[in-house]
Amino acid sequence: MPKVFVYGTLRRGGKNHHLLNDSQCIFQQCFVEGKLYDSSSGYPVMKQNTSGQICGELYEVTEPQLAEIDRLEGYKENGSDNLFECKLLPVYNDKGAQYNAFVYVAGEAFNQVSELISSGDWLVYNYLKQSSLLYFAYGSCMDDERLKKASVDHHFKDVRGKGVLEGFEFQFSRNTDDGGKADLVENTRGKAEGKVYDIPYDAVDYLYEREGVRANSYRPAVVPVSIKGSVYQTLTFIGVSKSPEMAPTKLYGTEIIRGGEGYLSDDYLRKIREKIKFLSE
């Protein structure tokens, strides 16, 4: 069955995602090389470029579904006036594994489009236009004491409660000179817990700086998180590169456990404690 990489309105939560109903999602977070632009018509366009990355989702689809997507994208094989061109390109997951998939790239009609989406992520680009946001914290950002030390605790007063992210697992896979740091690693059998905050837009600059977004340590992502049985789109941060897990410092581990107490499940916190102990031995 053909594979398709989608980066705009076909993604989860997008207005055209219904065309992928019953399709197998292989990866929720994966990439192609290229640069993303706002078409100013309610959807993004991709231009091939080896100096950038575009975030999207990878699906396995049927031939009839592929034909429907062709129609949506204004593509016909050997067409002379295609809106988009369909190309077979390499797609990479967070661990660097490569898959080949069909990707719809900008046709000549978009030659003049120039509003670059610097994050390379259509979901993040649109989510950050909101005046208030939901933020899924799963590491030391759950710790009130650390937020107070940074004098930003006023941005994180409104806690919605425990959030559950399906399809990802918690790991200390961001290796630094100061020990392992918390990260989300995609795993279809995984489930990560965290605290969900309702934050103002003013908190975003702090989070970008703290997570090292501009230093390419973590990247922003919008993920579906379940809160008391209802699913919400939330902002979170995922490590750009993955490494074998490394033990965190004692302080960092304490911040995670302390921040999660009273919100995360006892079993989940127990597993984090066991992970820290195992990695420290």
pTM of the model: 0.94
- Position 80 confidence tier, pLDDT thresholds 50, 70, 90: confident
Tell which residue, 257, 177, 183, 175, has the closest CA to residue 218: 183
Q: pLDDT tier at 281 (50, 70, 90 boundaries)?
A: confident
**What is the predicted pLDDT for the residue at 188?**
85
| Domain enclosing residue 9, as ranges | 3-123
CATH at 117:
3.10.490.10
Location of structure tokens 């994050």: 119
Do 45 and 164 have their domain in common? no
Candidate list 73, 211, 261, 274, residue with the active-site label? 211
**20 vs 7: CA distance, rounded Å:** 13
Same domain, 253 and 209: yes
Q: What is the pLDDT of residues 118-177, one digit of tens each?
A: 999 999 999 999 888 999 999 999 999 999 999 999 999 999 999 999 999 999 999 999
pLDDT tens for residues 163-200?
999 999 999 999 999 999 999 999 989 999 999 999 99
pLDDT digits (tens, 9 = 90+) for 52-66: 999 999 999 999 999
Number of domains in the chain: 2
d(CA 225, CA 164): 5
Based on the residue annotation, tell me whether 211 is a catalytic residue of this protein.
Answer: yes
Same structural domain for residues 93 and 143?
A: no
Question: What spatial distance separates the first Cα and last Cα of the chain, rounded to whole Å?
Answer: 45
